[in-house]
Amino acid sequence: MSTNPCAYDICALVDAHVKLGDVAQQEIDEISDKITDLQTKHNNLLRHIIHIQISIRHLQARAAHIRNQSAPVSRLPSDILALIFEECRHLPPTWFGVKRVLPIEVRLSHVTRRWREVAIGIPSLWSSIKYPMLHGEGSILEYVKRSNGCLLDVHLGPR
């Protein structure tokens, strides 16, 4: 029986293809391992970035607190600050374009922690309720609570 020379060539080609497939699979496995490695490093870096961002926010808040404490207005006694806040109640409402901005008592309570404590401690500052309110009905309950038994001045009308 004679052997077909083409049959050897086909077998050699198949063997070479299988070996090439093994090499390719090995390379794909190595690449997959590298990708997994890089993804792990990427996730670790993202966690580190988040930690850094949180640290930055804490430091910014601390710097703002120190800046606020060193402002001349911060040296005013709380009772004087309260008198100033009460005088602010009589200012006309502020408008920005066609929208009304937050009421003065809310804006004063958002400046610093100390201003918030002083503002919340002045019942008369919270005795004027305008309905409907910018922040909904939960705000009405806060105003009533903060007014601490003061007579209320309630305005009903459009926004």
| Residue predicted with more confidence, 79 or 11 | 79
Query: How many C-beta atoms lie closer than 10 Å to residue 108's C-beta?
Result: 22
- 75 DSSP assignment: G
Q: What is the structure's pLDDT at 20?
A: 67
Q: Say if residue 51's pLDDT is above 90.
A: yes
Query: 3-25 pLDDT, tens per residue?
Result: 565 566 776 666 766 676 777 88
- Could you tell me the pLDDT band of residue 63, with boundaries at 50, 70 and 90? very high
Q: Say if residue 140's pLDDT is above 70.
A: yes
The span from the CA of 130 to the CA of 90, in Å, is 14
Query: 109-119 pLDDT, tens per residue?
Result: 999 889 999 99
